[in-house]
Amino acid sequence: MKKAVLILSLSLALSAFAQESSSSEAAAPTGAAPTSMTLPTEKVRTPTTVDLFCAGFIGKSVVSRGKFVAGGLESPFTTQFAQGEVVVLKGSGYEVGQEYSVVRELRDSNRYEMFPGQWSAVRAAGQPYAELARVQIVDTRNRMAVAQIKYSCDTVLPGDYVIPFTDKAAIEFHPAMKFDRFAPANGQVNGRIILAKDFDSELGNGAKVYLNIGASKGLKVGDYLKAVRSYAATAHDPVESLSFEAMSMEPTQKNPPAVDPNFFNRSSGPQIHIADMPRRAVGEIVILSTTPNTATGMVVFSLEPVLVGDRVELDQQ
């Protein structure tokens, strides 16, 4: 009996393996072989409550400058407030039980551009905001309202603005599938990563990114986009492009190649044209929220660091 069960288990395992292998081969697009390098299995990270409500965003005219945090229970001796504490809110129209989000207008004091034209692209998209906390109004009997911080992502400071709280839908689970690393452009909605949370530049799983495309282009919460990068983008980077000018350091090669006419390593050997090299997908991004012209996304899968400036394209899968 035990042998029969063992044989049956092995048969089922082999059958499942065969089905998985055949499905992997069937899933390979025409002109591509299903290898672990070209079509690796993508297992994404599902966004949590913290990811949804603490991601930040870029928007236009989202705050009323008449409503902001004026202080707390022990002001002026305490200037930073967290979950469970009370804050005093300037403004009118508050009602007991109402919930508000606390947001902060952001600026990057370094002002270093990760790609040419980054800051003009950010200005065109709107104002970057951090999402700090959710508060609930508990007292409106005085000239300023009193609220309690129900949930905090970061410390709240005097001068931070309050806007009406909007709930966010959970993101549907994404099953494991093949990630097409060298897929040509599919003609779908596409844009660019113009900024990242905390002004980071190199991003991995869980990082939040801000895109210059939004609901007006048909983008919606739960959509998945590929982050892609061309070799031409690397060639136009003032630092990264230096590697294209380096010699291969192999003295036995009779005619070393030359990379495009604009680089210094000219030779009589083969000519490499960077623009002809295939672009590569470096990661997967899920959309957490949108405005008409922008979107906030989260990196849920990456094969290498995703960079501010990388292009994004709606994933047809």
pLDDT at residue 266, as a whole number: 62
If you average pLDDT over residues 150-158, what whole number do you get?
97
Query: What is the tens place of the pLDDT at every residue in 201-260?
Result: 999 999 999 999 999 999 999 999 999 999 888 887 777 777 777 777 678 888 888 777
Domain covering 52-164 assigned CATH 2.40.30 in the classification? yes
Mean pLDDT of 155-166: 96
Domain ranges of the chain: 52-164
Per DSSP, what are the bridge partners of residue 307? 202
Confidence check: pLDDT of 309 > 50: yes
The distance between the two most distant Cα atoms of the chain, rounded to a whole number of Å, is 86
Burial 161-181 (b: 16+ CB within 10 A, else e): bbbebeeeeebeebeeebbbb
State yes or no: pLDDT of 102 exceeds 80: yes
Q: For 35-64, how does the pLDDT look when each residue is reduced to its tens digit (9 = 90+)?
A: 888 889 888 888 999 999 999 999 987 778
pLDDT tens by residue, 2-41: 444 444 444 444 444 444 444 444 467 788 888 888 889 8
pLDDT at position 263, please?
57
| Location of structure tokens 């400058």 | 65
Distance CA 67, CA 61 (A): 13
Q: Taking all residues of the chain, what is their mean pLDDT, rounded to a whole number? A: 87
317 pLDDT exceeds 80? no
Determine the pLDDT at residue 301.
Answer: 95
pLDDT for the residue 75: 94
Share of the chain above pLDDT 70, in %: 88
The span from the CA of 58 to the CA of 193, in Å, is 12
Q: Is the pLDDT of residue 127 over 90?
A: yes
Which DSSP string do the residues of the chain spell out, in sequence order? Answer: -HHHHHHHHHHHHHHHHHHHHHHHHHHSPTT----TTTSPEE-PPPP-HHHHHS--EEESS---TT-EEEEETTTTT---B-TT-EEEEESS---TT-EEEEEEE---SS---SSTTHHHHHHHH-EEEEEEEEEEEEE-SSSSEEEEEEEESS-B-TT-EEEE----PPPPP---EE--TTPPP-SS-EEEEEEEGGG-SEE-TT-EEEES--GGGT--TT-EEEEEE-HHHHHTSTTGGGGGGS----TT-SS--EETTTSS---SSPEE-GGGSPPEEEEEEEEEEE-SS-EEEEEEEESS-EETT-EEEE---
User: Tokens 């596409």 correspond to what residue?
Assistant: 190
Contacts of 210 (CB under 8 A, 6+ apart): 56, 57, 58, 125, 128, 193, 194, 195, 196, 197, 294, 295, 296, 297
Q: How far is CA 52 from CA 14, 206, 289, in A?
A: 41, 11, 8
Token code pair at residue 184: 């040509």
